[in-house]
Structure 1
Amino acid sequence: MESIVTMFIVYIWIFLFGLFILKTGIQQISYHKMKMWIKKYTSNPIKGFLIGVVITAILQSSSTTIVIIVSLTSLGLLYFPNAIAIILGANVGTTLTAELLSFSNFWLMWILLISGFILLCIHKQRIFSIGCMLFGLGTIFTALYGFESLAEPIRQTPYMEEGLYDISRETTYSILFGMVVTGITQSSSAFTGMIMSFMNQELLSLPSAIAMVLGANIGTCFTALLAAIGSKMEGKWTAYAHLWVNILGVLFFIPFINWLGDFVSHLSAIPGRQLAHASVIFNLIISSFFLLFIKPLSAFIKMTSRKA
């Protein structure tokens, strides 16, 4: 039991370390450009939505995008309804990370690690940044294989397998599990990667895995709430918008989890890839819906925050 927990924590940290290295390489190339694009190209909700998708796909972190948005909104550099549009785009953009993780491959892992390490030894900023991205992605793949290696020890530990089964058979428990673990790790990507690995080893069913990822969408909101502490009211509104969009989206989609599982099972035979597709579809549907009601949503958030 202790060895499994220890290795689980180790692989979580390896994943987060790889994600940090990947983001460092990306940010060195484009972080300041991201801020400029956000301020310049958000004149209407559609543009804001697309900018949110693109920037989050590049940064590989919705949390980074949301923190930037909270800061810009708090400073009065970004109009609050347009900030909501970027948040909706960020929710879609972050699903591309799951799609990327679904292509994890043993030989690709070693190619990325070795080529990335070689480029890290070259003292030119752009080449070094590319090396960070390659080595970081290879490190993430390493963690994913680590998670998969825990499947057999978990099966051989009856109460751990039973505990995971008890959580997964109730949708509410699965959502809470995803929310809590993501809130602790501050990375929905790490949690999604872990769940994909367990699915590949047949430890989780597709509907329960989808429910856990829906919970992770709520758990990732904690980062925005932390970023909003001490900020002006506009910044707090932005964090609340992120929270409300994800809570309402998950509540709306709970009755359709089995339908979504059936649908994505026809798109791919690979369990991890099915989960990645489900995450994309969920966020695309919910974000598209809220994009049509940005003004009522912004008014609702302002009203509820005043009462609070």
Structure 2
Amino acid sequence: MGPLLMLFAIYTAIFLIGMFMMKAGFYALSGHRLKRWLMRFTAAPWQGFLTGMAATALVQSSSAVMVMTIGLVATGYLSFRQSIGIILGSNIGSTVTTELMTLDIGDGAIPLLIGGALLVFIGRRRFVYSIGMIAVGLAALLFAMNGFSSLAKPLADYPLVDAWLKQTNSSTAIGLFVGIALTALVHSSAATIGIAMGFLHEQLLTLPAAIAILLGANIGTCITGLLASIGSSKEAQLTAYTHLWLNVAGVAVFAFWTEPFARFAAMLSPAPDVQLAHVSVLFNTICSAAALPFVGIIETAILRLHGQKRA
């Protein structure tokens, strides 16, 4: 089992490196304009919502946008109230990554990798370099996804993994715990969802179980923001707490509906991994859209919950 676990760790590292390169490429395209957008277009909750969604789709990382938002709140460039809209939008923007992970380009990943690498090394302009980074990152991500799928069945032959799969398939609570723990460990909800897609593609995980892992990943991803807020101002800490509680609330509601969600997703696509990606979009869109009209109430609730009177 040791060699398989080593390969699994390598594929996870390749996935995370791919995510980092895509994030770096997209960020290089936007430059410091991203921070200016966050500060300028967040006066109203709906503006923060749209800005958070666009910013996360650009940098391919809700964690990066959250850390940036917490930093801007800590330095006084953004208020705690403004950050709530950004959080809601960021949750939707993060689903772009899960949809990209389902791309099926066959053997096209290798030309994509080679072409991207050439652009990185010979590109003198920022735009060319950025496109190269994005291409290499996407190729690495797709390569890792294929790796997860190829390892799923060999790993499932081991009693420990087989027992874990059976328990996860039979218990939503275990799926939630796996999603939370794995995401907190690797600091990437996309990596956790990618691993779930690998097992799902080989029919070793049921769609409801994979949805439970996805829901847990939405809570686990909050650990990055909580760590970033340590030692920051009270408002910055409130921003991190809000990210956590909004995700916990959404998961608490939808955890009881994994079966109906799975049946609905099955009508959207015949491919299991695409179904899970669509569930991610639906879950985050429904939760964020439902919460957006109540930003004022959310602000008051968080202030009361964490012992601070509203100014």
Residue identity (%):
39
Structure 2 match to 1:182: 183
Structure 2 match to 1:268: 269
Residue 151 (structure 1) shift = 1.6
Residue 298 (structure 1) shift = 0.8
Structure 2 match to 1:126: 127
Secondary structure of the corresponding residue to residue 306 of structure 2: helix
Structure 2 match to 1:230: 231
Residue 127 (structure 1) shift = 1.1
C-alpha separation in 2, matches of 1:165 and 1:36: 48
Residue 25 (structure 1) shift = 1.2
C-alpha separation in 1, matches of 2:279 and 2:160: 29
C-alpha separation in 1, matches of 2:53 and 2:115: 28
In the TM superposition, 1:83-98 aligns within 5 A as: 83-98=83-98
Residue 158 (structure 1) shift = 3.0
Structure 2 match to 1:113: 113
In the TM superposition, 1:149-160 aligns within 5 A as: 149-160=150-161
C-alpha separation in 1, matches of 2:31 and 2:23: 9
Structure 1 match to 2:147: 146
C-alpha separation in 1, matches of 2:97 and 2:271: 17
Residue 28 (structure 1) shift = 1.5
Letter in 1 for 2:106: F
Structure 2 match to 1:20: 20
**Residue 293 of structure 1 pairs with residue 255 of structure 2:** no
Structure 2 match to 1:69: 69
Structure 2 match to 1:137: 138
C-alpha separation in 2, matches of 1:141 and 1:300: 41
C-alpha separation in 2, matches of 1:145 and 1:97: 16
Residue 27 (structure 1) shift = 1.4
Secondary structure of the corresponding residue to residue 292 of structure 1: helix
Secondary structure of the corresponding residue to residue 224 of structure 1: helix
Moved more, 70-79 or 264-273: 70-79
Moved more, 152-161 or 292-301: 152-161
C-alpha separation in 1, matches of 2:121 and 2:166: 46
C-alpha separation in 1, matches of 2:111 and 2:133: 14
Residue 220 (structure 1) shift = 0.2
C-alpha separation in 1, matches of 2:2 and 2:165: 16
Letter in 2 for 1:174: G
Residue 47 (structure 1) shift = 1.0
Write the deviation string for residues 144-166 of structure 1: whole angstroms up to 9, x where unpaired.
11111102212322331122221
* TM-score of the aligned structures, taking structure 1 as reference length: 0.97
Residue 168 (structure 1) shift = 2.7
C-alpha separation in 1, matches of 2:164 and 2:79: 46
C-alpha separation in 2, matches of 1:179 and 1:277: 20
Structure 2 match to 1:172: 173
Letter in 2 for 1:282: F
Residue 264 (structure 1) shift = 0.9
C-alpha separation in 2, matches of 1:81 and 1:208: 35
C-alpha separation in 2, matches of 1:111 and 1:295: 50
Residue 109 (structure 1) shift = 1.2
Residue 6 (structure 1) shift = 1.3
Moved more, 213-222 or 123-132: 123-132
Structure 2 match to 1:4: 4
Computed over aligned residues only, the root mean square deviation of the Cα atoms, in angstroms, reads 1.2
Letter in 2 for 1:221: C
Which ranges in structure 2 are unaligned for 5 or more consecutive residues?
A: none
